[in-house]
Structure 1
Amino acid sequence: MQVLMMELSVAVKLIQEGVSTTKLPQQWVDLGAGTGLFTSALASLLPKGSSITAVDKNLSALNTIRLNNADILLNLMEGDYTEIEFTEMKSGFLMANSLHYCEDQVRMLQKLKHYLRTEGRILIIEYNTAVPNTWVPFPVSFERLTTLAAKAGFTKTDLLQSITSKYQAGGMYSAMLQ
């Protein structure tokens, strides 16, 4: 599938297998949410009573997020997601094209793991490349993610989906860390 500008249906496809199917409310954080494409995709998959905190440095982008699911509570948080400390355990973290901005990726994953519930998970969407560029300064190929996750203490790294990309020859992938 060639993806030029990602649509909601593609975002849903990328993360669907990684979202727990429990009917109990879940608490998620979307790190680097931007205008909320993946926030909306996640909201479409969560059970009633769940919440998503969308974090981004760009408040204007955050303020454009609109969920199509009124049963999901949306919290907006302006700030640098690498510096935020959480006060509660989370069901999951979503990092769609944001881990490649972290220089110390192992430390970031360790920090998130600390705030995950026992059954929690981290969903990662990244370009499958090892070559840095202006827009992807610290690339995270799936092979590299597997190594990073193990160093951060995760015992399971599953490749969920792969799609082609106009921007990277290696395409994009989604993965789940547990």
Structure 2
Amino acid sequence: MELKDAIALVQNGGINTNGSAAWADLGCGGGLFTAALASLLPANSTIYAVDKAPVKLQNNDFPAGVKVQPLRLDFVANELPFQDLDGILMANSLHYVSDQQGFIRNVSRHLKADGCFLICEYDTDSANRWVPYPLSYHSLLRLFHKVGYTTIERLHEHPSIYGRANIYSVRISW
């Protein structure tokens, strides 16, 4: 996937463009979606780019005024070191979490009252070694409704290079 495709997936995802914002990208990998998010945030914003592998952001050409703070941390097993986030981005990372309901309940504590999740996932419920705990769009709806979220907006879809299931994006808020 290219940066323009990642931007298209997360555009209109409840990203505040007025004033500064604080976001976390959980499971950031090489930072493709971190860069996409950074391109949409206003100056003086911060993104915590979190991954359990050493964070080596592929794209260091972030917009001026957007601070990207890499953090090597297992976002499932460890307590997150930040609070009052405007949003949590999880692009192809929630499917690595075995207890998704417990995880969502726990990580929601790090959001502001009007904060949101921005999730990108494969639209499948068929597991494989790369997607051990898949979340089709309908499974994601059930999961977040169980946790108490009421607003789930499907944003965009992009074909997967693997040809099995498209990647969808959603914005989720209370």
* TM bucket normalised to smaller: over 0.9
1:127 aligns with 2:127: no
Amino-acid identity (%)? 38
- Residue by residue over 1:122-167, the C-alpha shift from the partner in whole angstroms, topping out at 9 and shown as x without a partner, is 0110000010000000001000000000111111111111111122
1:138 is the counterpart of 2:133: yes
| 1:76-128 Cα shifts (integer Å, max 9, x gaps) | 11010112334421000000000000000111111222211122110110000
Q: Give CA deviations for 1:58-93 in whole Å, capped at 9, x if unaligned.
A: 11x435451331210111110101123344210000
Partner of 1:62: 56
Residue number among 63, 72, 75 corresponding to 1:78 in the alignment: 72
The letter for the 2-side match of 1:52 is I
Amino acid at match of 1:80: D
TM-score w.r.t. structure 1 length?
0.91
Structure 1 stretches of 4+ moved >3 Å? none
SS in 2 for 1:34: coil
Structure 2 SS opposite 1:112: helix
Structure-1 residue corresponding to 2:162: 167
Instruction: Identify unmatched segments of 5+ residues in structure 2.
Output: none
Aligned residues: 172
Q: Normalising by structure 2, report the TM-score.
A: 0.93
User: 2:12 is matched with which residue: 17, 20, 26?
Assistant: 17
CA distance in 2, matches of 1:43, 1:27: 11
- Structure 2 distance, partners of 1:65, 1:110, is 31
Instruction: Give, in whole Å, the separation in 1 of the partners of 2:30 and 2:165.
Output: 25
The CA deviation string for residues 14-65 of structure 1, in whole angstroms up to 9 with x for no partner, is 0011032431100000000011000000000001100000001111x43545
Give RMSD over aligned pairs: 1.4
SS in 1 for 2:135: coil
Structure 1: give runs of 5+ residues left out of the alignment: 1-5
Match of 2:90 in 1: 95
Cα distance in 1 for residues equivalent to 2:117 and 2:19: 18
